[in-house]
Amino acid sequence: MSAPKKLYIKTYGCQMNVYDSERMAETLGGQGYVETKTPDDADMILLNTCHIREKAAEKVYSELGRFKGLKAEKPDLKIGVAGCVAQAEGEEIMRRQPLVDLVVGPQSYHRLPEMEAKAGAGEKVLDTDFPEEDKFEKLKRRPKAKRGPTAFLTVQEGCDKFCAFCVVPYTRGAEVSRPADRILREAEDLVERGVREITLLGQNVNAYHGAGPNGDMTLAQLIWELDKVEGLERIRFTTSHPNDMMDDLIEAHGTCAKLMPYLHLPVQAGSDKILKRMNRSHTAESYIRLIERIRAARPDILISGDFIVGFPEETEEDFQATLDLVEEVKYGTAYSFKYSTRPGTPAAERAQVDPKEADDRLQRLQALLTRQQREVQDSMVGRELGVLFEKKGRFPGQMVGKSDYLHAVHVADCDAEIGDLRRVRIVSSGANSLAGELIA
């Protein structure tokens, strides 16, 4: 019996890419591949790329350059580029890096087995189509091996919003939602393998409109179906758009016990002028009123957000409006970035903010967000929270898990096992985590 081939996957970017990498590894497992943690002994290297961050393509080329020596030593080594950079620059990747054997876009990776076979025969293979068939149905079923207590599950892909700064509509395509029965089958399969918490993924997940038994279902209706899955204890979802936060989803946050009190709802800016230039289709006021409605349904919900500073034409007054919005909303956690151009997007052609000014604004925003995050964490001290334990800690007897609010929680002298969901009293708050003790 021949030794299995080894696959090394490096994943960049969002949780959806993490999910995609898992599925790519599974489908290549049917071709005799097993995963390895180092590229040095791999028979195939796959870079699953993201196009959101600055100079994303150049970082991919730099990474590929590091494999030149390895390719020279192992001529049979196959190197592939997947994901959003592959979708955006497929032919250019092949031209600039001859060592690349295959390039596959995020909608075509179910075709990897055939592509791998062609690459093995010496062909250069490129597939960045938006195929009509459902890639999830074409993928191999997940193997029944035991897995950790948390999992991602993609339910929706693509985006129709066309924000002026974003490449997702061009790299992931139009909004497509998976049928509910297929999602439920996959969720049940995950639970059978030990998963107790599932995070539903989508570029615009709350725009979910997958086929159900009586017509298209909303995300809230899907969540209520998942609520019926025995053994599934927690449900989360990300990432959402304010315009698709429907009444039934707000209500679900207040009434569905399995839906965790955490919501990532990006606003991006607090200035209506900048929001309009971003093509966000909501105002600062409508966003704040939406947060009020969500908190009325679930008062303890932790709100997370995304912010872009230094967007083209942003003035100090516009930036102050963002600070004012942050002060009013009070975020439990947030992600903030300095604007960077994306070729092909509308904002790339506009007058840019001075980089030093953008840097200064980012530092000021992050200082405010950090203060708010710490205040929310400190407010957890003395509370009793549910904690799903995911791994052992750095010290003997220590376990680490996630709270209902997605905070990392460390518990010493802990008799819990990985996968246990236990009640924990929070005793202290650190920079990025909490410490607690099991409640007897």
Q: Supply the DSSP symbol for 115.
A: H
The 10 Å Cβ neighbour count of residue 95 is: 10
The answer to whether 242 touches 207, Cβ cutoff 8 Å, is no
State both tokens at 378.
């400190």
What is the rounded CA–CA span in Å between residue 173 and residue 252? 29
Neighbouring C-beta atoms of residue 129, cutoff 10 Å: 12
Q: Which of 230, 233, 226, 189 is nearest to 210 (CA)?
A: 226
CA-CA distance, 392 to 30, in Å (whole number)? 31
Strands 102-104 and 156-157 turn out to be unpaired
Residues ≥6 apart with Cβ < 8 Å to 386 = 403, 404, 421, 422, 423, 424
How many angstroms separate the CA atoms of 411 and 421, rounded? 13
- Separation of alpha carbons 364 and 347, rounded Å: 23
Q: How far apart are the first and last CA of the chain?
A: 52
| C-alpha triplet 90, 174, 119: angle, nearest 5° | 30
Amino acid at site 98: P
405: left (phi over 0), alpha (psi -120 to 50) or beta: alpha
Residue 435: in which H helix or E strand, if any?
strand 434-438
Question: Rounded to whole angstroms, how far apart are CA atoms 188 and 276?
Answer: 42
Task: Write down the residue that tokens 């102050």 correspond to.
Answer: 320
Q: Tokens 């191999």: give the residue.
A: 140
Burial of 209 (0-12, 13-18, 19+ CB in 10 A): middle
256 is in an annotated binding site: no
Q: Dig out the tokens for 372 from the structure.
A: 């708010």
Binding residue per annotation — 84? yes
> Is residue 227 within 8 Å of 235, Cβ to Cβ?
yes
| CA angle (200, 206, 209) in 5-degree steps | 95
Annotated binding site for [4Fe-4S] cluster: 14, 50, 84, 159, 163, 166
Annotated binding site: 14, 50, 84, 159, 163, 166
